[in-house]
Structure 1
Amino acid sequence: MKTKYIDLIEQTFDFPQEEFKLENNQLYFHGIDLMKLIAQYGAPLKFTYLPKISDNINRAKDWFAQAMTENNYQGNYHYCYCTKSSHFSHVLNEALKNDIHIETSSAFDIDIVERLKEAGKIKDDTYVVCNGFKRDQYIQNIARLINKGHQNCIPIIDNYEELSLLSSTIEGNFEVGIRIASEEEPKFEFYTSRLGIGYKNIVPFYNNQLKDHPRAKLKMLHFFINTGIRDTAYYWNELLKCMKVYINLKKICPSLDSLNIGGGFPIKNSLAFDYDYSYMVREIINQIQQACDEAGVAVPHIFTEFGSYTVGESGGAIYEVLYQKQQNDREKWNMINSSFITTMPDTWAINKRFIMLALNRWNEEYERVLLGGLTCDSDDYYNSEQHMNAIYLPKYKKEKPLYIGFFNTGAYQETIGGFGGLQHCLIPQPKHVLIDRDEEGKLTTSLFAPQQTSDQLLGILGYETTEKRASETTINMVPVDSQI
């Protein structure tokens, strides 16, 4: 009878896979010896494997290039990275190596863009697509960027007031886009996205505010689907509705030449993940081409906004199982040495699913468990609801440490969890390791951020820190006769 952990994985999934393999009874991720990483840096830790960012960008570029060639598509393709997925400099630096563009969603994003321009990472011909609901600071920052000469900054109009706000702060001519308020999937609690302008109102909005505007021109129509690009009747129906709006606008607006397909590709959240990226790209390009040909209008340049797809599969989190609690006849709780609430908030906030695997002891018997975090919060756990099916791990043995890894966690976790700031129940932020390859392909690692200390957290809260008390003690110990 096959009762080992490796037997379970091999009979349940197609294993090994492109990024996962087993050597000496231990898991490797993209050729990275994870147990060696633990030996060097300890656990818990998070890591970012930077080459995966460039890999995913170039895969998408190839899919679109092939689809456009097959369809003799006459437009260009522009890959945009959504900075909200991860604002870290090492992520932007890696992504920008690949001749991409940027999508922003808030005022501080523009500050990042300006610093990247100063460093030569972003050029004048880099598109900066400004999404999101815009008010004072965001409007001022967009205007500052355009007024300094970055003409490829394209604010996307989200509501009826934004055009006048932009016009009052931008000094010369500028280009804008309009975001479609798409209808949400039937299972949603609301019918229409809160972002953008409704399908039926876009042409009237253009006629009333943009058609005769002295300085603004409409360049882009922005189409965003909250559930991402998926092969569903809902997605294809919304895309066709979008194309009707594009065609109607194009017939009366010669300056409109771009379609921004928001909503990204899904990322791998299980070893059973199956998604035909190439097919989806071919079908999108084919449907856009067909709709434009039938209407007799020129096809648009295609922009895509990929956030999670760009950075998600580069990230991982590693924990050690500290202890096992048998709470009743059926439930065994493996307690990790960190917290899901603080380090992977998507797992408890929206039941986000990630690949979870043991890192060692694959050649031993397995058992069904639940995973619990260190906080006293009842929501600090990870179970079958998030994991798609029951969780099995090698049997807990106090004398044999067990390490587990969560993979493809690179998008959103740090920003939602509050990296560098206060954490739920003051569980500290884990250390963060950067992994890269040198020119010879050899793996290199460096410590990006150490684990938070109690002094850092207490300082934020306004308590005296150890350093402050030590400095005051030193002052008090100075002899009286030496004081001024």
Structure 2
Amino acid sequence: MNTKYSDLIDQTYYFPQEEFKLQDTHLKFHGIDLMGLVEEYGVPLKFTYLPKISDNIGRAKDWFRKAIEKLDYKGSYNYCYCTKSSHFEHVLNEALKNDIHIETSSAFDINIVEKLKESGKITEDNWIICNGFKRDQYISNISKLINTGHKKCIPIIDNYEELDLLSEKIEGKFEVGIRIASEEEPKFEFYTSRLGIGYKNIVPFYKQQIQENEQVSLRMLHFFINTGIRDTAYYWNELNKCLKVYINLKRICPNLDSLNIGGGFPIKNSLAFDYDYAYMVEEIVNQIQLACEEAEVDVPHIFTEFGSFTVGESGGAIYEVLYQKQQNDREKWNMINSSFITTLPDTWAISKKFVMLAINRWNDEYERVLLGGLTCDSDDYYNSEQNTNAIYLPKFKKEKPLYIGFFNTGAYQETIGGFGGLQHCLIPQPKHILIDRNTEGEITTKLFSTQQDAGEMLNILGYN
């Protein structure tokens, strides 16, 4: 009988995969000895594998380059990193090695941009695309950036008041974009995105506030789909509506030359993940070109703002199963030595699934379990894997420690979880490891942050 955990994975998925391989009974991730990490640093721990950031940027650039060459597309392609996915310096440092641009979401993002300019990692040649709802501090920071000479900074107008607020602060001429308030997916709780300006209102807005305004010129139209870039009738319909707006604007606005395709690529959330990135890129470029040719207008330069796709697949978390609780005839709870709510908040906030695999004991028999976190909150659990609708792990044995890994967790989890601050039920934040490769290709590790201790939390709470 095939009762081993390795048999289960082999029967359920194509395995091994590019990033996941087995060495004896232990899992390796991009060649990283995960049990070695456990033995050196202990658990729980989180890690960031920096080379994956550059790898994904390179892949996307290559897909667009090939599509543009194949279709003889006359516009250029510009890769932007959406900083809200992860603001950490080590992430930005790695991403900026790859000739990319930056998309910001709030006031303090601009302070990060200024720091990166001081260190020479961002120059006047980098586009800074400023999204989000803008009020005093964000407006001031954007204006300061432009006033000090960064002309490749484009505020994306989100509402009718922002243009006047920017005009009051910015000295001289500047360029803007306009964000389209796209219609949400039919199953969404409301009809139209709260962000941006409605399809029908964009041309009138341009005519009233920009067309005769000598201080401002329109450079970019911004199109964002909350569900990301997916091969669905909904996505293609929204893209075509966006292109109609672009064409109508282009006919009356010669300065308009760029289209920002917001919404990112999906990332791997299961070993059964299947997505044809190259096809999607080619079809997007093709649809833009066909619409513009039919309307007899110049094609736009294409911008994308990939956040999760840039950094998501670089992250992981490793836990130990501390104990198993048999709560009834069917439910076995494996208790981890941390909390899902605090370390992987998307698992409970939006029921997001990550790739989850045992780190060790792949030759042991498996069992069906539920995973529980340490907080005294009924929502602190993880109970199903994508495509299998259950969790199977090597059988719990008190004398044989079991370690489990969650992978592709690098986007949003630290900022949503409140890195460095209070954690639910005061469960400490795990240590965080940075993993890189040296010039010889050898794996290197560095401790980025230690596990929180009681003193740090008591200090935040005012006890020290």
Q: Deviations over 1:206-229 (max 9, x none)?
A: 000000111110000000000000
Q: Number of aligned residue pairs: give it.
A: 464
Counterpart for residue 165 of structure 2: 165
After superposition, where does 1:223-302 map in structure 2 within 5 Å? 223-302=223-302
Amino acid at match of 2:67: A
After superposition, where does 1:415-454 map in structure 2 within 5 Å? 415-454=415-454
Counterpart for residue 400 of structure 2: 400
Amino acid at match of 2:448: F
Counterpart for residue 205 of structure 1: 205
Moved over 3 A (4+): 385-388
Does structure 2 conserve the Cα–Cα contact (< 8 Å) formed by 1:131 and 1:156?
Answer: yes
Please give the alpha-carbon distance, in whole angstroms, between the structure 2 residues aligned to 1:188 and 1:460: 38
Structure 1 unmatched runs, 5+: 465-484
Deviation at 1:385, TM superposition (A): 7.2
Deviation at 1:387, TM superposition (A): 7.4
Deviation at 1:30, TM superposition (A): 0.1
Residue 108, structure 1, aligned to residue 108, structure 2: yes
After superposition, where does 1:357-436 map in structure 2 within 5 Å? 357-384=357-384, 389-436=389-436
Deviation at 1:386, TM superposition (A): 6.9
Amino acid at match of 2:320: E
Counterpart for residue 320 of structure 1: 320
Does structure 2 conserve the Cα–Cα contact (< 8 Å) formed by 1:26 and 1:35?
Answer: yes
Q: Deviations over 1:442-470 (max 9, x none)?
A: 00000000001100000110113xxxxxx
Amino acid at match of 2:389: N
Counterpart for residue 11 of structure 1: 11
Please give the alpha-carbon distance, in whole angstroms, between the structure 2 residues aligned to 1:462 and 1:47: 30
Counterpart for residue 183 of structure 2: 183
Please say which structure displays the higher CA radius of gyration. Answer: 1
Amino acid at match of 2:300: P
Deviation at 1:131, TM superposition (A): 0.1
Counterpart for residue 333 of structure 1: 333
After superposition, where does 1:20-35 map in structure 2 within 5 Å? 20-35=20-35
Does structure 2 conserve the Cα–Cα contact (< 8 Å) formed by 1:364 and 1:394?
Answer: yes
Distance 1:222 1:370, change over 3 A: same
Q: SS of the residue aligned with 1:379?
A: coil
Please give the alpha-carbon distance, in whole angstroms, between the structure 2 residues aligned to 1:385 and 1:418: 25
Please give the alpha-carbon distance, in whole angstroms, between the structure 1 residues aligned to 2:458 and 2:385: 35
Q: Deviations over 1:60-113 (max 9, x none)?
A: 000000000011000000000000000000000000000000000000000000
Amino acid at match of 2:433: V
Please give the alpha-carbon distance, in whole angstroms, between the structure 1 residues aligned to 2:427 and 2:71: 53
Does structure 2 conserve the Cα–Cα contact (< 8 Å) formed by 1:352 and 1:386?
Answer: no
Counterpart for residue 123 of structure 2: 123
Q: SS of the residue aligned with 1:115?
A: helix
Counterpart for residue 217 of structure 1: 217
Deviation at 1:384, TM superposition (A): 1.6
Counterpart for residue 348 of structure 1: 348
Q: SS of the residue aligned with 2:302?
A: strand
Does structure 1 conserve the Cα–Cα contact (< 8 Å) formed by 2:272 and 2:387?
Answer: no
Does structure 1 conserve the Cα–Cα contact (< 8 Å) formed by 2:80 and 2:103?
Answer: yes
After superposition, where does 1:70-109 map in structure 2 within 5 Å? 70-109=70-109
Q: Deviations over 1:423-443 (max 9, x none)?
A: 111001100000000000000
Q: Deviations over 1:32-81 (max 9, x none)?
A: 00000100000000000000000000000000000000110000000000
Please give the alpha-carbon distance, in whole angstroms, between the structure 1 residues aligned to 2:388 and 2:362: 21
Please give the alpha-carbon distance, in whole angstroms, between the structure 2 residues aligned to 1:37 and 1:96: 27
Counterpart for residue 36 of structure 2: 36
The TM-score normalised by the length of structure 1 is: 0.95
Please give the alpha-carbon distance, in whole angstroms, between the structure 2 residues aligned to 1:385 and 1:285: 34
Does structure 2 conserve the Cα–Cα contact (< 8 Å) formed by 1:351 and 1:385?
Answer: no
Please give the alpha-carbon distance, in whole angstroms, between the structure 1 residues aligned to 2:130 and 2:387: 35
Residue 456, structure 1, aligned to residue 456, structure 2: yes
Counterpart for residue 2 of structure 2: 2
Q: For the aligned residues, what is the CA RMSD?
A: 0.7
Structure 2 unmatched runs, 5+: none
Q: SS of the residue aligned with 1:319?
A: strand
Distance 1:426 1:25, change over 3 A: same
Q: Deviations over 1:248-274 (max 9, x none)?
A: 000000000000000000000000000
Q: SS of the residue aligned with 1:384?
A: coil
